[in-house]
Amino acid sequence: MDNKSLRGISLIALSSLSLESALAQSGAALEEIIVTAQKTAESIQEVPISITALDEMALERNGVTNIMDLSMLVPSLTIRPNPVSDQNLRFTLRGVEDGAIELTQDLTTALHLNGIYIARGNGLNLNVEDLERVEVLRGPQGTLYGRNATAGAINYVTRKPGDEFEFRQQFTVGNFDRFVSRTTVNIPITDTLAVRANYLREEQDGWIDNSFPGGSPINDREADAYRFDVRWEPTEDLTIDYGYDRSEVDYFSQPFQCTTLVPGFLGSLVDPSTCSEDEPLDDLSLRGNLVGNEVWASGHTLSVEWAYSENHSMRALLGYREYEDNYQAMLQAGGAGLTGASGLDTRDEFAMIPPFQYETSFINTEGDYSSIELQFTGTLNDSLSYNAGLYWFDENGTEINERGTQLVVWPGESPSVPTGFVSPGGPRDLEANNKSQAAYLEF
C-alpha cells in the first residue's frame, strides 16, 4: 500500500472522529430506528444481526416506488423480475439466488408482510404503498425465520391506523402514457378504534410497438392494489390488528430480442439488419396468439398482542393468502424448430429459425396457504432476554403447464410470412402440499 492510500485512510478516520466530536459537542444524536428483526420492538443498534432498515422518510427520500428499487439501497441484495413472467420477482441476497418461479421451489429469502410469511413471489412486482419501514436481514436466519431464510429475510411493515384523520392523494404521470394514482385515508372511529385504507392504480403502455396489423400489444400493463387495516386497543395492554390486501395485474409478456448475430449455418439465414449491437428494437411485428397475462393475490392478517406483565408479552399471528397466476412464458427455442422440409426456398424452409423464435408455455398456477404463530418475548433480568414460539404452516397448490406453441417474429416483414406452428407435447399437471411445524427458543 502506498503513502497516498495511507493518507487517505487517515483522512477518513479523522473525518469520522471529527463528526462524532461535533455531534457530541452539539448534543445531537443519530435518529433511533426501531425494528422488529428479533420479533420484538428494539433499537437497531441493539440488534446483533447484519441488518439494513429503511423507514418511511428514507424510502421517500430515495425515491423508492417499487419493491425492486430496494436493490439500489441495500448491499448484496438484487431484486429482478422473472424473465418469462415479469410480475413475479426473484430475490438474490448474499449471492444466494432463488430458483425458478415454480410451485415446487421455495424462495431462499424469507419474505414477511406484517409478520406473515409470503411463500410465493407471484404478483409481487407492484409499487410499494404506505410502508412504515423495510428490514433486510442477511442470513442465514433459520432460528427465528425458519428453513427458507438461507439467504436472509425481508420484513415489510405497513403503517397502522392512527388516532388522527388523514387523507392523502398523489398522482404520477410519465412517458409511455404512464399514470399512477395513490389514495390513502385514515379515520379514527373512537378513542380505541381506527381504520386505514389504501388504493393504488397503475397504467403504462409498453415501450415496444407491434407493427403487425391487428397484433396484440407488447408489455402493456395495468394494476390495481387495495389495502384495508383496522386497529382496536380495548385496553392499554391489548392490541388487535386486522389487515386485508389484494393486488390485480393485467399485462402482456415482453419477448426476447436478437442483439447478436452468431456467424455460421443459422446466422447465414438471418438478415443482419434485424440484430442490433446489444440494443433491443423498439418495433416488432409479432404474429401469433399473444395472450394477456393475469395475476392476483390477496391475504388476511390477524395479530393479537398482549403485554400480560411489565416485562413479558405474547403475540398470536394468523395469516391466510391465496393467489392465481396465468401467464404466457415465451422462451428462446434456438434451432429446435427446424422443419426439414424439402423443395422450398431457403426463406420458407427455415421459417422456424427467424431472428426471434419462441417456445411458448401457457402456465396456470393457483394456491393458498395458512399460518399460525405464537410468540413469547420478555426479559428475565437486566442482561437476559428470551424469544420463544410455535409455528404451523399449510400450503396447497396446483400448476398446469401447456407447452408446444411457438411464435415467430419477423420485424418489418409482410403479413404473408409464416407465423408459427404447434409442436408435439401435452400439458404437464402437478399438485403440491406443503406442511411445516416448528418450535423455537432463543436466549
- What is the b/e burial string over 104-143, where b = at least 16 CB atoms within 10 angstroms of the residue's CB? eebbbbbbbbbbbbbbbbbbbbbbbbbbebbbbbbbbbee
pLDDT at 190: 95
Amino acid 110 reads A
Dist. CA 339–CA 24, nearest whole Å: 77
Determine how β-strand 152-158 pairs with β-strand 109-113.
parallel
The model's pTM = 0.78
Residue 272, strand partner residues: none
Query: Beta strands of 175-237 (E only): which ranges?
Result: 178-188, 193-204, 209-210, 221-235
Amino acid 278 reads D
Please provide the DSSP assignment of 80-101 as one string: EEETTEEEEEEEEETTEE---S
State phi, psi for 99 to the nearest 5 degrees: -85, -155
Going by the DSSP 8-state scheme, the letter that residue 127 receives in this structure is B
Dist. CA 353–CA 373, nearest whole Å: 54
CB within 8 Å of 252: residues ≥ 6 apart = 206, 216, 217, 218, 219, 220, 221, 290, 292, 293
Whether 296 contacts 343, CB under 8 Å: no
**C-alpha cell of 377?**
418475548
- What is the b/e burial string over 328-344, where b = at least 16 CB atoms within 10 angstroms of the residue's CB? bbbbebeeebeeeeeee
Dist. CA 36–CA 313, nearest whole Å: 14
Whether 151 contacts 356, CB under 8 Å: no
pLDDT at 241: 97
Q: How far is CA 298 from the centre of its chain?
A: 14
Residue 181, strand partner residues: 171, 201
pLDDT digits (tens, 9 = 90+) for 158-214: 999 999 999 999 899 999 899 999 999 999 999 999 999 999 999 998 888 777 666
pLDDT at 211: 74
pLDDT at 201: 92
pLDDT in tens, the chain (443 residues): 444 444 443 333 333 333 344 334 444 455 677 777 777 777 777 777 778 888 888 888 887 777 888 888 888 888 888 777 777 888 888 888 876 677 777 888 888 899 999 888 777 776 666 888 888 888 788 778 887 888 888 888 999 999 999 999 989 999 989 999 999 999 999 999 999 999 999 999 888 877 766 666 777 889 999 999 999 999 999 999 999 999 999 988 776 665 665 555 444 445 555 555 666 677 776 655 567 889 999 999 999 999 999 889 999 999 999 999 988 776 544 333 333 222 323 333 333 334 444 566 778 899 999 999 999 999 888 889 899 999 999 999 999 887 765 555 554 444 444 444 444 456 778 899 999 999 999 88
pLDDT digits (tens, 9 = 90+) for 242-290: 999 999 999 887 766 656 655 554 444 455 555 556 666 777 766 555 6
pLDDT at 11: 36
Q: Is the dihedral angle over the CA atoms 103, 90, 299, 203 positive or is it negative?
A: negative
